Amino acid sequence: MSAQIIDGVALSRNLRQEMTGRVAGLAATKRPPGLAVILVGEDPASQVYVRNKVRACEEVGIHSVMERHPADISQEQLCARIALLNEDRSIDGILVQLPLPRHIDAQAVVESIAPTKDVDGLQIHSAGALMTGSAGFKPCTPYGVMKMLEHVGVTLKGSRAVVIGRSNTVGKPMALLLLQQNATVTICHSGTPDIAAHTRQADIVVVAVGRRDTLTASMVKPGAVVIDVGINRREDGKLCGDVDFAGVSEIASWITPVPGGVGPMTITMLLANTIESAERTLAAGSKPGAL
């Protein structure tokens, strides 16, 4: 079997085209949605991610503000900046690019964002909403994965899904979103003794570890859907995921590439959350920052 590719670039292009219309509608009748992106320090990867996010906003017509702060900014100063953005009526979403320097408590900074503007979906409030099935922002990466599964018509109800990785940003919310759609979900992690025993039973495997070749062909059930969230750099400098793409492609029915898979979808769902936030705020005429 040779797996079909779930093309995150093409799907993103289609979704962003639809978004352009929604954004233009808001801009014509009220105001464009607004996203503030905060970058602290000089981490090269973070600079690339932030630039891509700002560029994606421009592409669909979202107003974006990029704030750069030196690595030695204090937590109090950073939270003070966020407090101003919380009150800014032109801003519907605030994203703090992680990781932050070690002297800053990243979760405390994320928690200082108004819950109505947590478009990255990383606050405890958003995690609670996801856990209880209430309305809230979904973390962008797992949200993007769900869109990809929906796009190719994967049946989740009754399926067996394995998520490898249990981070608060990817693994855990991924498992909850799959569970919401009535998949039977297993979460594997660094303490799981025989991961292959789980993945060989799975109809869907999502890998979010950050280590090359975490999932190889012998670990995959024929016809399974494989989603590779991982981003790693090979010796030659090229990007690769957590999945042995060549080997697993021979076994799976669908597979996401790296690059060009989950990565672009993560940014696309950030745009989606920002537009949803603006639509909610503008429809309610609600005060920015109000719960």
The SS3 assignment for 4 reads strand
In what order do the strands lie in the sheet containing 63-69?
63-69, 34-40, 93-96
Q: Which of 254, 228, 258, 255 minimizes the C-alpha distance to 240?
A: 258
Instruction: Give the CB-side neighbour count of residue 19, counting CA atoms within 13 A.
Output: 26
The SS3 assignment for 96 reads strand
Query: Taking the chain, what is the end-to-end CA distance rounded to the nearest angstrom?
Result: 50
Instruction: Report the catalytic residues.
Output: 53, 97, 120
Question: Would you tell me which residues interact with ligand NAP (CB under 6 A)?
Answer: 141, 164-167, 169-171, 188-191, 195, 208-211, 229-231, 262-263, 266
Q: Which is nearer to ligand NAP, 1 or 48 (CB)?
A: 48
Cβ at position 74, least distance to ligand NAP in Å: 25
Cβ at position 127, least distance to ligand NAP in Å: 14
Residues 51 and 48: their CA atoms lie apart, in Å, by 5
Cβ at position 62, least distance to ligand NAP in Å: 19
Torsion angle in degrees (nearest 10) through CA of 96, 101, 103, 105: 30
Q: 171-180 and 124-132 helices cross at what angle (nearest 10)?
A: 30
Q: Which is nearer to ligand NAP, 26 or 240 (CB)?
A: 240
Cβ at position 266, least distance to ligand NAP in Å: 3
Q: Which is nearer to ligand NAP, 68 or 211 (CB)?
A: 211
Q: Which is nearer to ligand NAP, 183 or 229 (CB)?
A: 229
